[in-house]
Amino acid sequence: MDTARNVLLEEWMREHGHSSNTMAEAVNRAVEQLTGRPGGCDGSSVRAWKSGRIQWPKALTRRVLEEVTGVPITALGFAPRSRAQPAPAVPEQEDPDLKRRTLVSGGIAAAVAAAAAAPGSAPRRIGMADVDRLQYRFTEIIASDHRRGGQVDIEKRAASLADEALNLQNSGNASQRVRANLYAAAAAFRSSAMWAAIDGRRYDEAKAHMREAQALAEMSGDQAIKFRIWSHAGTMYRHMGRTADALAANDVARNLHIARRDPMFASLGLARQAAIHGAAQDRTGTRRAFDQAGDAMDRADPAAHRPTWLVAFYDPAELNSLALSAYLALGDYPAAELHAHRCLSTLRPHMVRSRAITTTRLAHAQLAQGDIDTATKVAMTVPTAAATQHARVSRMLGEFGAALRAKAPRSPFVDTWTEHTAAWRTTA
């Protein structure tokens, strides 16, 4: 039987600079960290994954691949043979982005069109396979967010997929379980559109997505997606400077049953509460909430099943990132710098957007302590794409430049920074 190449794995490896051999080395290191025994993967194993000869690796290998990449196994192009396989390789002359758009607008929408195209025919049966296809698209949205967060195209694509999920509701018959899952998928996509708008500082759009996401989540009954939406709302209001509203929204998330049942959800709710306390200048509340968030994370079962969106980003690095934000807002710059270094040392490779944000905040903490040389050099390591295209990073770097000029107006580092930002404008 012919096999299709695993183009998603190949794309991830190409983007992160991995050959088959270096990918095998990374997998073996992760196996040894997990089991205490060296892994037995080599370049030929990776080539077998890429060629499609091995479509569903063993359980340990799947777990390790998720650890190494920070991406769910299905988002790397793997699937059991009994499940629908990823699309075949894109011909060399075909634009991969166009291919993805075609899959989004064609794959799911074609099912809707087919159901409506034959008046008088029996309605098609909507099943969990349709939900699985939507979930596969959701992992792509999550991956795009971590690479290029805040972009309008991610927001629009997520909103479009939410509409696709709702269209499926009307395209045929489905069980109550399937319908609940379709509403949950639509809510998940809409919450990703909401987050992209928040990350891009488009708050009016974010609030509109939030209202739709909340309604869909209620119809789904899915506690995890309700948590995500209300937790995002808390972050949105924190960025807007509305700390009372931020605490109220975050409390809705923290009081959901899932946060009482799973310490990892409780930890995220507490960590974001601490960041809000920092923005509100509540030092005691900040310290207490972060201590509680760390304790909850330590209690969480690492093997428990959790949704893709949570697994993809919440870990000790994110906890330290939120601490960095809080202590920077409080003006405790040594503590902020400490948490920045802790975050950067454990940040997973796919967290490109988070690395740019953390690096920028680190430069602010160093500048505030008078370490102008180091701060300038650190700020200059932020990639041009993030510096010019991500709204939050662009704003923070603009504030860094203003603070640098105010702190050391005649310093040669001001000239260095000015030249550097001019180069951004010519290469962006």
Query: What pLDDT is attached to residue 300?
Result: 93
- What confidence score (pLDDT) does residue 122 get? 53
Of 130-139, 258-267, 282-291, the range with the lowest mean pLDDT is 130-139
Domain contains 185: yes
Residue 288 has a CB neighbour count (10 Å cut-off) of 15
Mean pLDDT value across residues 151-180 = 84
Residue type, 24: A
Same domain membership, residue 151 and residue 110: yes
- Given a cut of 80, whether residue 90 has pLDDT beyond it is no
Domain that holds residue 372: 315-428
Are 272 and 390 members of one domain? no
Dump pLDDT digits (tens) for 13-45.
Answer: 887 778 888 888 888 887 877 777 778 888 888
Report the residue count for the chain. 428
pLDDT of residue 341 exceeding 90, the answer is yes
Of the residues 203, 221, 239, the one at which a domain ends: 221
Judged against a pLDDT cut of 50, whether residue 94 lies above it is answered with no
Give a yes or no: residue 171 inside a domain: yes
Check residue 370 and give its pLDDT. Answer: 92
Check whether residue 216 and residue 229 sit in a common domain.
no
Which residue among 303, 334, 363 closes a domain?
Answer: 303
Give a yes or no: residue 308 inside a domain: no
Q: Is the pLDDT of residue 166 over 90?
A: no
Q: Measure CA 309 to chain center.
A: 6
Find the angle CA(139)-CA(145)-CA(151) to the nearest 5 degrees. 135
Domain boundary among 303, 327, 356: 303
The pLDDT, as a whole number, for residue 83 is 43
Q: Is residue 217 located within the same domain as residue 228?
A: no
pLDDT recorded at residue 142: 74
Confidence at residue 252, expressed as pLDDT on a 0 to 100 scale: 95
Q: So what's the pLDDT on residue 149? A: 67
**46 & 153 share domain:** no
pLDDT of residue 361: 95
pTM over 0.85: no
User: Domain containing 361 — which CATH number?
Assistant: 1.25.40
Average pLDDT over residues 137-152: 73
Mean model confidence pLDDT for the chain? 83
Least confident of 124-133, 186-195, 408-417: 124-133
Same domain, 271 and 341: no
Cα distance between residue 109 and residue 408, in whole Å: 57
**What confidence tens digit (pLDDT) does each residue in 203-215 have?**
999 999 999 999 9
Task: Compute the C-alpha angle 206/210/215, nearest 5°.
Answer: 160
| Structure-model confidence comparison of residues 336 and 8, the more confident one | 336
pLDDT at 299 over 50: yes
- Across 56-65, 166-175, 251-260, 390-399, which has the greatest mean pLDDT? 251-260
In this structure, are 236 and 178 located in the same domain?
no
The count of domains in the chain is 4
Specify if 309 maps to a domain: no
Are 26 and 104 found together in one domain?
no
Within this chain, do residues 198 and 246 fall inside the same structural domain, yes or no? no
Asked if residue 361 belongs to a domain, the reply is yes
Q: How far apart are CA 82 and CA 270, in angstroms?
A: 41
| 87 domain residue, yes or no | no
In a domain, 191, yes or no: yes
* Shared domain check, 208 and 274: no
Q: Is residue 85 part of a domain?
A: no
- Has residue 89 got a pLDDT over 70? no
- What is the pLDDT, as a whole number, of residue 405? 92
Nearest CA-CA partner of 355 in 365, 344, 363, 345: 344
Query: Are residue 294 and residue 369 in the same domain, yes or no?
Result: no
Greater model confidence, 293 or 76: 293
Neighbours of 311 (CB within 10 A): 17
Based on the fold, state whether residues 148 and 242 are members of the same structural domain: no
Q: How far is it, in rounded angstroms, from Cα 251 to Cα 234?
A: 8
Cα distance from N-terminal residue to C-terminal residue, the chain: 46
Work out the angle between the directed axes of helices 283-299 and 263-279 (0-180°, nearest 10): 160
**pLDDT at residue 246, as a whole number:** 96
**pLDDT of 117:** 40
Give, in order, the Cα–Cα distances in Å from 427 to each of 95, 240, 323, 386, 421.
23, 31, 33, 12, 10
Integer CA distances (angstroms), 49 to 38, 39, 70, 77, 148, in order: 20, 16, 17, 9, 26
- Give tens-digit pLDDT for 307-328: 888 988 899 999 999 999 999 9
- Across 410-420, average pLDDT: 89
Distance CA 191, CA 189 (A): 5
